[in-house]
């Protein structure tokens, strides 16, 4: 099923509090936002700090009907790259939408749009009565833009990660300017193409 979902402007606006390298309050705001999302999906959420207290990893879990099977991870990152305001036609942290429906917000493509689409897809699937066979984890990691050494690199060493029994993971890819989206695996290796046919949701 292919879907498009409305962007969550709250998530995008939180970026303004994350000036690239460090701002504990900004990531704390992300954590609280994601906890509320998990609550609205009626899914358990946990926060772990694999490296330091200022770098939280948020994990939302959708238990599968056969939880002994290897799980699926849908990963995205909460940090964004720096802003050069003189290059922007809109406030990069206002999440403005113009008359053509384009959203202007630092971190939208890379990659809060992906994180929100994971959650939007889960919301629609749950509403349809779907239950996954494998347990699904939606992970939100910090530190990706500066190498992940205090984020995913440490998270995968934790007992928490090991007990997740991950069999497959989807992560960041690349954007498309057409109605065809390229699927990637590993570090942006092209895997296939899918046509985009949207179902607009409110």
Nearer to Zn ion, 110 or 154 (CB): 110
**Shortest separation between residue 36's beta carbon and Zn ion, angstroms:** 23
- CA of 178: how far to CAs of 101, 191, 193, 194, in Å? 15, 17, 12, 11
Dist CA 146 CA 86 (whole Å): 23
- CA of 200: how far to CAs of 5, 7, 60, 121, 124, in Å? 6, 11, 24, 12, 11
**Shortest separation between residue 129's beta carbon and Zn ion, angstroms:** 33
**Residue selected from 17, 172, 184, 185 as contacting Zn ion according to rule CB under 5 A:** 172
Q: Would you count residue 173 as binding Zn ion (CB under 5 A)?
A: no
Nearer to Zn ion, 111 or 141 (CB): 111
Nearer to Zn ion, 62 or 93 (CB): 93
By residue count, the chain amounts to: 202
Dist CA 46 CA 112 (whole Å): 19
H or E segment and range at residue 3: none
Site for Zn ion (CB under 5 A): how many residues?
3
79 is known as an active-site residue: yes
Nearer to Zn ion, 64 or 104 (CB): 104
**Shortest separation between residue 14's beta carbon and Zn ion, angstroms:** 15
Nearer to Zn ion, 37 or 76 (CB): 76
- One of 144, 145, 154, 171 is an active-site residue; which one? 144
**Residue selected from 79, 110, 143, 171 as contacting Zn ion according to rule CB under 5 A:** 110
187 is known as an active-site residue: no
Q: Considering only 1-9, 39-47, 48-56, 170-178, which stretch makes contact with Zn ion by CB under 5 A? A: 170-178
| Angle between helix 113-128 and helix 24-41 axes, rounded to 10 deg | 20
DSSP per-residue letters across 113-129: HHHHHHHHHHHHHHHHT
Q: Would you count residue 111 as binding Zn ion (CB under 5 A)?
A: yes
- One of 79, 110, 143, 154 is an active-site residue; which one? 79
- CA of 60: how far to CAs of 34, 63, 73, 167, in Å? 8, 10, 10, 17
Query: Which residues form the interface with Zn ion (CB under 5 A)?
Result: 110-111, 172
Active site residues: 79, 144
């Amino acid at each position: 099923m292919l879907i498009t979902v409305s962007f969550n402007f709250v998530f995008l606006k939180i970026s303004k509090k994350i000036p690239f390298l460090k701002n504990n309050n900004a990531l704390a705001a992300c954590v609280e936002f994601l906890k509320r999302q998990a609550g609205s999906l009626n899914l358990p959420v946990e926060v772990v700090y694999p490296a330091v207290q200022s770098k939280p990893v948020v994990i939302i879990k959708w238990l599968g009907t056969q939880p002994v099977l290897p799980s699926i991870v849908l990963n995205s990152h909460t940090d964004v790259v720096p802003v050069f305001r003189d290059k922007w036609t809109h406030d990069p942290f206002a999440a403005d939408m113009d008359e053509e429906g384009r959203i202007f917000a630092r971190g939208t493509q890379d990659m809060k749009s992906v994180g929100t689409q994971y959650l939007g897809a889960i919301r629609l699937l749950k509403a349809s009565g779907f239950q996954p066979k494998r347990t699904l984890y939606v992970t939100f990691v910090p530190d990706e833009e500066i190498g992940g050494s205090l984020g995913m690199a440490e998270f995968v060493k934790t007992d928490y990660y090991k007990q997740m029994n991950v069999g497959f993971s989807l992560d960041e890819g690349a954007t498309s300017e057409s109605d065809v989206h390229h699927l990637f695996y590993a570090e942006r290796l092209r895997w296939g193409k899918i046509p985009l046919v949207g179902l607009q949701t409110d």
